[in-house]
Structure 1
């Protein structure tokens, strides 16, 4: 049972690492807080220095003594440079260069708008003091009151006996009162002394000193702490410190104390390398975990880098290492979640030209919770060349790679593989359809060293494999206009076929280094390969037939799609993957006259009802090999009701190394109770084990200046066998938690994640079966 509550007041702005476009289907609710006075027009920013120093005064009445004092009354408008003052009365003392204004007073410049009872300004140094002030920061939701407000010569604000909020005027959901606030207009940060945070008019927190952002600029300092409690970790307190090292570097260091485990230290270092490269380094460490019987140290280190060196060169690096298999199940890591069980270690450099590209890559993958260790790619060199319309409409392509496979354990064989794959194709495309003929030559060389495993005598030291391949693919597009249920539609009928021939060669003398069997969904029926990787290339003499039909409405929106296909074998394939010392995985090629019958459906049933489904059916054995179906009701934004069912037979359980059948039914929903309050819930049930495997229920209330989320979780917990932790059998099978999140916007918090975040806050992420417009 977990109970979490924390006040999300993070002041850490985002370090912009790359320009990217993202979509926000349910962005946080925002307020438009504007001063209750019209914005005044600024002078031309390109005006000369002399023009910016000129004073412009307009009023209904005026009286003046030359060189002494001038008094203006009635709708007075005073402008100098980018500053403007509107008042009932303005007195300008030319001898002391002082300006007094009062009566319906409004002061405005490029950064803020202020209303006040009176104003005293010194013209000589451009400073001013306003009493009884109300202020609004332009471009921000921040506004507040001040007994006295001083504008310094360098255009900073000093406020005394003041407050501020991001809530609309008259809304006292939260208010921060302070004895003094200083806002630096250049640094765009504010400093507060002797501040009190009030929620609903009730003081809840005293802060002797703090800094706040008034823009997206970054600044070093402590971030707001987080607090939580749980039966697993005990009382938790985290106090992050943010260090703005330079415009292109920053670091966040977080001491995270867990009373049940110890002190968990997290460091996140981010950097920009020029205009087009970015990266981050993460280090996490927990010394002597008190929850483990051996009090072992837990740690993680992670490095990620990507970007472009120039217009041709690209680089990529990703490396993660953890102390044990259950690290992500036990620790609240910033890198991966508990459902991630693979750690990728990749380094790659690539060069791109118009018709060719080259890359060099090293790769190592650590699979958590499995005894089998994948091979390392050390390294892999790829060269690809493309020559479209080389001669008489013929396209020429060349794909080649040379890969060196190594293994961490000496008893496994190692190998170097060279693969060259030239192809010539003749594509013919038009509105009525397409027809493509293709010839390939698959030439592969292996140099294998199995001296570390002398019992593996079936592997040859050198192997040369030559396989010709012929592929013919055709598709025809038929259309007609029809009507269903008194609605006009355009219906398509898209039959397609593919003939594939790959010659046979005995490949049992080749080890398994990066090859696995591929799924046979509808689109997989038209693949050229039965296996991923190149260690096994299945022989083929087969015809694939497929048919797709669609319905488009009068606005050309797809309302219905159904696909059906199957492979017919003229000759049984004789190439498979057998169990050996090279791999614990077993794949065999069945002798059958046809593949599974694969079908997929996606449709808008009626108005706001949608359905999607897929099935793989063995017509020879009359067995369902895989099926899933979802039904959605989506009547509007953030409104969802979904029913789902999934069946997957013979799924390998890595913990027991036994096959299990998966029967799962699920429900999920999201519904707004009002404009600010909505509910989200998930429920998944294992029909095979007759048990609930996940329940999630939560509600979120969000206004423009604060938000709260309360959620309940009950879900199966991922646990791996791990010699690192002798108490693995004592781990709980299920995990229960209650979480409370409270966010005050305007103090660096951006609000909860919205409906999409709540739907994804579980083991099973939400995916729409169709993206159809109403």
Structure 2
């Protein structure tokens, strides 16, 4: 066939041609057609003269039946030998795959193809460039000379002298360079003598060098480089640094992608003044309801503290020593289910070797803030403070029935560092362990067909400890309430009866606790009354919203305001019962008498905003419309309590006069704009002592420039009958992440003790985001340690960063 554009010849195998020419007449007709075609297209059966138009042929491999379309400036076919040759802009295409070059020679029977000059192939979602190439299209093998592989999944380029294609996506290569950077002199690269790779998996390189701007800085006999965007097993970039307390340090992580739901990271660290440390992090996410995070760090510390005179400055006033070389910290969270999704399981582990490990090794992957914030963000539960002298681990199994009933089985173990590592003797440890506790709950629900609502809590617990009373406790608290609603508000009176029974099995201390069986009854009642008065105000609708036009897209204004006032009164009374002879295991064994009323007034302001948006109608023309959004932009709360028992108190009046009125709380939550927030809590004494507590935070957020929050906290010293010996605190906290010019990101956490004029924490991280890598420098300083660390993130592995969300330092 011939037209004014392209010559198209469909070449079929001889067997296929004869199948279409079965009869003698048809054979004669076919032979005539072939002869005419040869006359019309001279050179088809032998050498062809150059043509000014491109020629396209469809070639089919007899072994795979795969059709390839060959297009070139000039095509020559030798049917007898089964060879097709093409010159000039030659392209062989099948579906999305194609091979191109200045010259192509295709062997039809074997499916072998030879390409030379400006070779380019797009093969299974990756690109191949070479001076020369050979491919076996049947077995998916081949060879490249001076080849380049661009693997989009891993954003990696592999350039080598010789490539052997050993399978569909596998290669071996010699004298090669791997990089993820652009340019003739890349920012980083890996140079290797030999290697092999699997596209979408890994490249293994041998006798390799890591180069920065063409200069070798690291030699490795073997390296494994990931070639895909998702997580892959391999060594992660190391971290280098120095600490005034720990000396120079180095951390080398290794990441193991176990499967799609699980991975493990192993850390090999070295601290110049303390020795080697090892760490593990295991993560799992089996399904939407099951996930876990486990971390452990261990070091055989060169330094011990056998007496108080050897104690570091930070810990010299603790009164504790540390005689152990073996130091560790195990922490984890796990949420999941067993047998059935209604059987939920939660596990919290927080177990350390001594009282100073968390503060001493507050670096790298052992950093307290990293674990605290990861646990809080992923599981909604944190861990004990960094300087706590006790750490508690808990296991909890829960079974629920339709949101009305639940049952828990809990065990808790608390370690107390006061009785470990050469401090007080362990047999004098009074720390209570819960082994176990069985609890049952009936959530608030209607009592039969009556207007009453009922709820109940109950628990059966066994407590044990080395020194002091151990034993069992059964506690039950049913509560009855009566919701009463009217057009003017609601009142909910309530009453409860707590019955607690004890069985003390031993008491090896000199306490006043009576052994044997005891019980306690506590009656309580109260009421809550609340209402709401609101008004809606029309701020007027401008013409732009009444008749929206496409030219006014983005026009936005407030059109309405809602103001709500919510008064509330809560009253609580609890019976006064003598409890000194009862065992004391936790806070529920000493429930104080109560006779108090709390009253509050809340103001809520909500705005209605109209914005002109533009969509397209069925004909593709602009179709303007008005969209409305709502925001609670201001909340004002005023609250105070009055204690009737304090008003009637007759003890210690000479030292502590009666003060039944509590501080007045004024709380403001203000969100005027998308990028601005202001929160404030102010407690003011009604007895002329001014502000006793002040917490204020201003937050700024912009998706382009980052985020910044500035907080100020002030506690006044208080010595009252109900609040004795509270220390004064004046603390400034700054947290920020700023996106700077030149691809820089600045992260900072800064805490300053204004009262004592002491910086508590200074963390500053600066990251430069280059085209193919990130470089992060991190500086951290406290009163007792200063450190700096540096790491490079390449091949898609992200920098650790600095946590911005939680104050992790205890002021005590």
Whether TM exceeds 0.5 here: the answer is yes
Contact 1:682 1:697 in 2 (8 A): yes
Partner of 1:496: 567
TM alignment of 1:60-139, pairs within 5 A: 60=72, 61-67=74-80, 68-73=82-87, 76-80=90-94, 83-139=97-153
Taking the aligned partners of 1:280 and 1:331, their CA distance within structure 2 comes to 20
Partner of 1:30: none
Provide closer, same or farther for how the CA distance between residues 313 and 598 of structure 1 changes in structure 2, counting only shifts above 3 A. same
**Residue 345 in structure 1 maps to residue 358 in structure 2:** no
Deviation readout 1:57-105 (Å, 9 max, x if unpaired): 1425533222521123455443457743234542212355421224543
Contact 2:602 2:635 in 1 (8 A): no
Partner of 1:302: 330
Provide closer, same or farther for how the CA distance between residues 195 and 53 of structure 1 changes in structure 2, counting only shifts above 3 A. farther
Partner of 2:226: 213
Taking the aligned partners of 1:512 and 1:249, their CA distance within structure 2 comes to 43
Partner of 1:261: 274
Partner of 2:547: none
**TM superposition shift of 1:156:** 0.3
**TM superposition shift of 1:759:** 4.0
Provide closer, same or farther for how the CA distance between residues 489 and 279 of structure 1 changes in structure 2, counting only shifts above 3 A. closer
Partner of 1:601: 668
**TM superposition shift of 1:419:** 1.8
**Residue 426 in structure 1 maps to residue 483 in structure 2:** yes
Partner of 2:9: none
More helix by share: 2
Aligned with residue 473 of structure 1, among 525, 529, 533: 529
Contact 1:459 1:508 in 2 (8 A): no
Taking the aligned partners of 1:163 and 1:113, their CA distance within structure 2 comes to 16
Query: Secondary structure at 2:359's aligned position in 1?
Result: helix
Provide closer, same or farther for how the CA distance between residues 758 and 470 of structure 1 changes in structure 2, counting only shifts above 3 A. closer
Partner of 1:318: 348
Partner of 1:523: none
**TM superposition shift of 1:601:** 1.0
Taking the aligned partners of 1:78 and 1:136, their CA distance within structure 2 comes to 20
Query: Secondary structure at 1:150's aligned position in 2?
Result: strand
Contact 1:375 1:406 in 2 (8 A): yes
Taking the aligned partners of 1:556 and 1:504, their CA distance within structure 2 comes to 46
Taking the aligned partners of 2:65 and 2:524, their CA distance within structure 1 comes to 83
Query: Secondary structure at 2:155's aligned position in 1?
Result: coil
Provide closer, same or farther for how the CA distance between residues 493 and 146 of structure 1 changes in structure 2, counting only shifts above 3 A. same
Contact 1:101 1:119 in 2 (8 A): yes
Aligned with residue 473 of structure 2, among 416, 419, 426: 416
Partner of 2:170: 156
**TM superposition shift of 1:692:** 3.1
Aligned with residue 735 of structure 1, among 785, 790, 797: 785
TM alignment of 1:352-501, pairs within 5 A: 352-354=400-402, 355-366=404-415, 374-386=431-443, 388=445, 394=451, 396-404=453-461, 406-412=463-469, 414-426=471-483, 435=490, 437-449=492-504, 451-456=507-512, 461-481=517-537, 490-501=561-572
Aligned with residue 683 of structure 2, among 616, 624, 629: 616
Contact 1:708 1:740 in 2 (8 A): no
Partner of 1:175: 189
Deviation readout 1:224-260 (Å, 9 max, x if unpaired): 5544333322343445556677887765554433332
Contact 1:300 1:320 in 2 (8 A): no
**Residue 559 in structure 1 maps to residue 607 in structure 2:** no
Mark the structure with the bigger radius of gyration: 2
Taking the aligned partners of 1:335 and 1:237, their CA distance within structure 2 comes to 13
Taking the aligned partners of 1:534 and 1:674, their CA distance within structure 2 comes to 59
Query: Secondary structure at 2:341's aligned position in 1?
Result: coil
Partner of 1:663: 730
Q: CA RMSD in A?
A: 4.1
Contact 2:776 2:799 in 1 (8 A): no
Taking the aligned partners of 1:292 and 1:433, their CA distance within structure 2 comes to 68
Which protein has greater RCO, CA pairs closer than 8 Å, 6+ apart?
1
Taking the aligned partners of 2:347 and 2:62, their CA distance within structure 1 comes to 55
Taking the aligned partners of 2:262 and 2:679, their CA distance within structure 1 comes to 46
Contact 2:239 2:790 in 1 (8 A): no
**TM superposition shift of 1:614:** 0.3
Query: Secondary structure at 1:139's aligned position in 2?
Result: helix
**Residue 192 in structure 1 maps to residue 205 in structure 2:** yes
Contact 1:155 1:185 in 2 (8 A): yes
Partner of 1:518: none
Query: Secondary structure at 1:508's aligned position in 2?
Result: coil
Moved more, 198-207 or 408-417: 408-417
Aligned length: 660
Taking the aligned partners of 1:574 and 1:417, their CA distance within structure 2 comes to 33
Query: Secondary structure at 1:563's aligned position in 2?
Result: strand
Partner of 2:68: 56
Taking the aligned partners of 1:560 and 1:218, their CA distance within structure 2 comes to 44
Contact 2:224 2:235 in 1 (8 A): no
Provide closer, same or farther for how the CA distance between residues 143 and 475 of structure 1 changes in structure 2, counting only shifts above 3 A. farther
Partner of 1:772: none
**Residue 648 in structure 1 maps to residue 704 in structure 2:** no
Contact 2:574 2:592 in 1 (8 A): no
**TM superposition shift of 1:288:** 5.3
Contact 2:596 2:644 in 1 (8 A): yes
TM-score w.r.t. the length of structure 1 is 0.74
Deviation readout 1:344-365 (Å, 9 max, x if unpaired): 2111111122132211001133
Provide closer, same or farther for how the CA distance between residues 150 and 389 of structure 1 changes in structure 2, counting only shifts above 3 A. farther
Taking the aligned partners of 1:320 and 1:676, their CA distance within structure 2 comes to 39
Deviation readout 1:427-454 (Å, 9 max, x if unpaired): 759xx99635253423221315374345
Taking the aligned partners of 1:631 and 1:282, their CA distance within structure 2 comes to 34
Query: Secondary structure at 1:153's aligned position in 2?
Result: coil
**TM superposition shift of 1:418:** 1.2
Taking the aligned partners of 2:648 and 2:497, their CA distance within structure 1 comes to 18
Partner of 1:723: none
Taking the aligned partners of 1:534 and 1:474, their CA distance within structure 2 comes to 32
Provide closer, same or farther for how the CA distance between residues 575 and 211 of structure 1 changes in structure 2, counting only shifts above 3 A. farther
Partner of 2:358: 328
Taking the aligned partners of 1:233 and 1:650, their CA distance within structure 2 comes to 37
Taking the aligned partners of 1:204 and 1:649, their CA distance within structure 2 comes to 57
Moved more, 639-648 or 217-226: 217-226
Query: Secondary structure at 2:368's aligned position in 1?
Result: coil
**TM superposition shift of 1:113:** 1.5
Partner of 2:600: 545
Contact 2:522 2:575 in 1 (8 A): no
Provide closer, same or farther for how the CA distance between residues 742 and 615 of structure 1 changes in structure 2, counting only shifts above 3 A. same
Aligned with residue 760 of structure 2, among 673, 677, 693: 693
Taking the aligned partners of 1:678 and 1:250, their CA distance within structure 2 comes to 29
Contact 1:393 1:426 in 2 (8 A): no
**TM superposition shift of 1:326:** 0.6
Contact 2:777 2:790 in 1 (8 A): yes
Taking the aligned partners of 1:606 and 1:217, their CA distance within structure 2 comes to 37
**TM superposition shift of 1:162:** 2.2
Taking the aligned partners of 1:279 and 1:682, their CA distance within structure 2 comes to 28
**TM superposition shift of 1:392:** 5.8
Taking the aligned partners of 1:53 and 1:542, their CA distance within structure 2 comes to 87
Contact 2:440 2:459 in 1 (8 A): no
Provide closer, same or farther for how the CA distance between residues 335 and 396 of structure 1 changes in structure 2, counting only shifts above 3 A. farther
Contact 2:246 2:272 in 1 (8 A): yes
Provide closer, same or farther for how the CA distance between residues 421 and 591 of structure 1 changes in structure 2, counting only shifts above 3 A. farther
Partner of 1:709: 776
Moved more, 67-76 or 344-353: 67-76
